[in-house]
Amino acid sequence: MRFEDAVPWLHLHRLTGGGAGLRQLLEQFGSVDAIYAAPRSELLPSFDGDQAPVDAVLAGPDAGHFETERVWLDDPANHLVAITDQAYPPLLREIPGPPPLLFVRGDMALLGAPQLAVVGSRNPSHGGCDNARAFSSQLTAAGLVVTSGLALGIDACAHAAALDAGGQTIAVAATGLDRVYPSAHRELAHRIAAQGALVSEFALGTPPRREHFPRRNRLISGLSLGVLVVEAALRSGSLITARLAAEQGREVFAIPGSIHSPLARGCHALIRQGAKLVENAPDILEELGALAGFVAASPGAAAPTDATLNRAQQELLELIGFDPVEIDTLVARSGLTPGRVSSMLLLMELHGLIEARPGGRYQRTS
């Protein structure tokens, strides 16, 4: 989004705090233009009768109030994506309470690519970090983007391994993207911006706040087909992410460990609650394959012939065609959910039936 187009969004984002308030306005009025065109009497209830923000909406957006954002958006690496944009990640749009505006630094097209979240303890064991690295590099090698939260520990191990493997990774921040938290990850954040993407729903300048971390966690799972919990204590942030993932209808995967390790307890609790126990990355790929409904989905297996595609898959493949097409278009054409379409596309890509094109688009290869 160009700065001029962004200003009306940034103005509303600032007035509402960016989350539920802005979503509510959009649902009520239908578009940003309609919000600005609304009479005072209709706006007032949305602001609980508070005159000041209503006055501000009625006064209209003023580019002069967004100098920080103007400078930030001048950097071609930085982007703003609104929920009404085609480029908004389709899986994220599906969750309860999707963020209306996303700040992105890096490769914006990655947001629509099939992602697996890899999360876990901020104080992992050496073995836990090794596991995070091994899964992360195998998942990226299989064509998945590894998404995590830029935190210390497992998050950092997962991001770094994806980068080291030449793969792609997305970090979802709980601060404005002009800050890096924790500051020890400044270098890592730069690498991610260069080779992947940083994402935040929070305005520039937003410092780390306790209440923002669970909001951030719902984006990590919301962007992803599933969440892998590598190591986690009971009552940890990773378990919150896993719960949010389950509520969003995403797969939850957990790595078991010794019954004497406190960091395995969280994973064991998840497995008891129905998370899939996984020993290696192919376990995850198989499960995502089953999700997409493939008969044989293990990586390295022969590409399925038409006979092994079920009817829904065959129909989706026919909808794709040989010109690049966006996921949203396929969702509209097929009537399937974005989650279903994304995982079917991922598996078709792994099987070489289609290929990903710039801009989150796909086309048939044969």
Strand order in the sheet with 169-172: 78-82, 101-106, 197-200, 169-172, 145-148, 115-119, 226-229, 251-254, 276-277
**Helical residues (DSSP H) of the chain, grouped into ranges:** 3-16, 20-29, 32-37, 40-43, 51-59, 67-74, 90-93, 126-141, 154-164, 186-195, 212-222, 237-247, 262-272, 281-292, 311-320, 327-334, 338-350
Residue 255 lies near a copy of itself (rule: CB under 8 A): yes
**Residue 331 — φ and ψ, nearest 5°?**
-60, -45
Kindly list the distances between the CA atom of residue 132 and the CA atoms of 136, 156, 205, 208, in Å, as whole numbers in the listed order: 6, 9, 31, 25
Closest CA to 197 of 343, 99, 124, 89: 89
Is residue 298 a contact residue for a copy of itself (CB under 8 A)?
no
Distance in Å, CB of 153 to a copy of itself, minimum: 18
Q: Kindly provide the residue ranges of all beta strands, DSSP E only, lying in 53-122, ordered along the sequence.
A: 78-82, 101-106, 115-119
Question: Which residue lies nearer to a copy of itself by CB, 222 or 226?
Answer: 226
Scanning 22-30, 138-146, 258-266, 324-332 for contacts with a copy of itself by CB under 8 A, the matching segment is 258-266
By CB under 8 A, name the one of 34, 277, 295, 332 that touches a copy of itself.
277
> Of 170, 271, 288, 316, which lies in the binding site for a copy of itself, with binding defined by CB under 8 A?
271
131 touches a copy of itself (CB under 8 A): yes
Candidate residues 21, 98, 257, 360; the one interacting with a copy of itself per rule CB under 8 A? 257
Nearer to a copy of itself, 69 or 286 (CB): 286
Residue 262 in contact with a copy of itself, rule: CB under 8 A: no
Interaction between residue 218 and a copy of itself (CB under 8 A): no
| Range in contact with a copy of itself (rule: CB under 8 A) among 32-40, 55-63, 243-251, 274-282 | 274-282
How does DSSP classify residue 178?
A: T
Q: Is 302 in the site for a copy of itself (CB under 8 A)?
A: no
- Interface stretch with a copy of itself, choices 41-49, 138-146, 207-215, 250-258 (CB under 8 A): 250-258
State yes or no: residue 343 binds a copy of itself (CB under 8 A): no
Minimal distance in Å, beta carbon 346 to a copy of itself?
22
Binding site for a copy of itself (CB under 8 A): 127, 131, 255-260, 264-265, 268, 271-272, 276-280
